[in-house]
Amino acid sequence: MLLKDEVEMLRRIPLFSGVAPAKLKLLAFTSDRVSYRADQALFRQGDMGDAAYVILSGTAEVSVDTPNGQIKVAEVEHDSIVGEIAILCDVLRTATVTASTPLEALRISKEHFLKLLSDYPEMTIEIMRVLASRLSHTTAELSEERSKH
């Protein structure tokens, strides 16, 4: 895929919509385009968080290890970002992300991701929205689960 096509893809992602085209070109150039087959893990819970992934095509399942085995907590698709929590919080991966279908993603290193956030404060706000939405969804699911017992 050409660099300009990757820039166009990045521009469609809400997280990057406010980023200048020259910066998106640099991001596309400094990021790695990665492909996964169905059932292949992008990363596993407990791994070191060294990059965030922007899903360009395909879907992936987000799951967490529990004493009772793995539990699927979400499904993500194109234009989604995964892996940012480990970078932002400087913790190990909090979940395992596995491709459900053949998947293409842009792997953004921790260094480039943090630099983008410092250059574009509005991206930080968008990341906060994504995280707040996930937290709200998880809290609702936990409440529902607790009310069953």
- Residues 51-71 pLDDT 10s: 999 998 999 999 999 898 899
CA dist., res. 146 & res. 65, Å (int): 19
pTM as predicted: 0.85
The string of DSSP codes covering 34-52 is EEE-TT-EEE-TTS---EE
Condensed to tens digits (0 to 9), the pLDDT of residues 104-149 reads: 999 999 999 898 888 888 888 888 888 888 888 888 888 887 888 7
Average pLDDT along the chain: 89
Instruction: Residue 96: name the closest of 35, 44, 37, 34 by CA.
Output: 44
- CATH number belonging to domain 3-139: 2.60.120.10
**In this structure, which amino acid lies at residue 149?**
H
